[in-house]
């Protein structure tokens, strides 16, 4: 007989990825393990970038080391993950900005893990230029991340330092995942800011182009682990956070 341990990635309530691993157990233990509430579970939140690009790389290693623990990852924007941790719906989260309050602690997980870049369609007028002025972005068709996204907050602040706000852009869409934004840019819908690693394949294939902005220095981002200090941390979540710490070199090299 066998029972199943799995890692489940959920995006706005929709299961995106489902990994399954089998191992042998006594029939009685299988029935006991599968009863509701009897499984050991790690239930964490992850921002879009973390849940879509980073954590899936680690699933194989996690399941080999922890075949008795089910990993559930709820993917949403950084602000939503923070609220879920505040409310005790999640024990911990990995997000793209440092958010804290009286009962949630944030600590840096990865420093300078990726670079925020501006991308455009391969046939866009910007594509043939070595760089553009930040004022050239005014009036451009632009694809935004959703409100609450760390990426959106980040580039909104960068634009604001040059007296540009989102109203100065011709916003054609707001999308909540990097793959959706990159596909929209590929199709010619507009330009957008993304994290470089999320766009690597499309850049390598020449489907989109990176745009250098003359007035803006390279923008490197951090990832943060947050957890609720009013809740006792389960052994399973503590084990998962230790696993993430050990996998830092792999994540930075990805």
pLDDT (tens digit per residue) in 77-87: 999 999 999 99
DSSP 215: T
pLDDT score recorded for residue 158: 92
Structural domains for the chain: 2-112+222-253 (3.40.190.10), 113-221 (3.40.190.290)
Does pTM top 0.85 for this prediction?
no
pLDDT score recorded for residue 2: 33
**Residue 74 structure tokens:** 């709820």
- What's CA 205's distance to the chain center, in Å? 23
CA-closest candidate to residue 194, choices 95, 96, 98, 119: 119
Residue 241 in this model has a pLDDT that exceeds 70: yes
Residue 169 in this model has a pLDDT that exceeds 80: yes
**Residue 168 structure tokens:** 């100065």
> Tokens 């330092």 correspond to what residue?
161
pLDDT score recorded for residue 250: 84
Confidence of residue 16 (pLDDT cuts 50, 70, 90): very low
Contact 7, 19 (CB under 8 A): yes
Q: What are phi and psi of 86, to 5 degrees?
A: -55, -45
pLDDT score recorded for residue 242: 95
């Amino acid at each position: 007989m066998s029972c199943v341990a799995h890692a489940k990635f959920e995006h706005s309530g929709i299961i995106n990825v489902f990994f399954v691993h089998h191992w042998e157990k006594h029939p009685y233990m299988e029935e006991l393990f599968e009863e509701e509430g009897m499984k050991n579970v790690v239930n964490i939140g992850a921002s879009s970038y973390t849940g879509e690009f980073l954590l899936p790389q680690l699933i194989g290693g996690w399941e080999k080391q922890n075949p008795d623990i089910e990993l559930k990852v709820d993917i949403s924007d950084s602000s939503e993950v923070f609220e879920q941790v505040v409310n005790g719906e999640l024990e911990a989260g990995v997000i793209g900005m440092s958010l804290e309050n009286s009962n949630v602690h944030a600590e840096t997980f990865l420093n300078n893990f990726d670079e925020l870049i501006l991308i455009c369609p391969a046939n866009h007028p910007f594509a043939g230029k070595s760089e553009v002025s930040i004022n050239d972005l005014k009036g451009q068709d632009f694809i935004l991340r959703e409100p609450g996204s760390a990426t959106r907050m980040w580039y909104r602040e960068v634009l604001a330092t040059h007296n540009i706000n989102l109203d100065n852009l011709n916003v054609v869409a707001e999308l909540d995942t990097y793959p959706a934004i990159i596909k929209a840019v590929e199709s010619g819908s507009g330009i957008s800011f993304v994290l470089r690693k999320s766009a690597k394949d499309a850049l390598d294939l020449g489907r989109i182009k990176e745009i250098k902005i003359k007035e803006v220095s390279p923008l490197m981002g951090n990832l943060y682990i947050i957890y609720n200090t009013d809740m006792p941390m389960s052994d399973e979540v503590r084990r998962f956070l230790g696993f993430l710490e050990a996998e830092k070199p792999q994540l930075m090299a990805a």
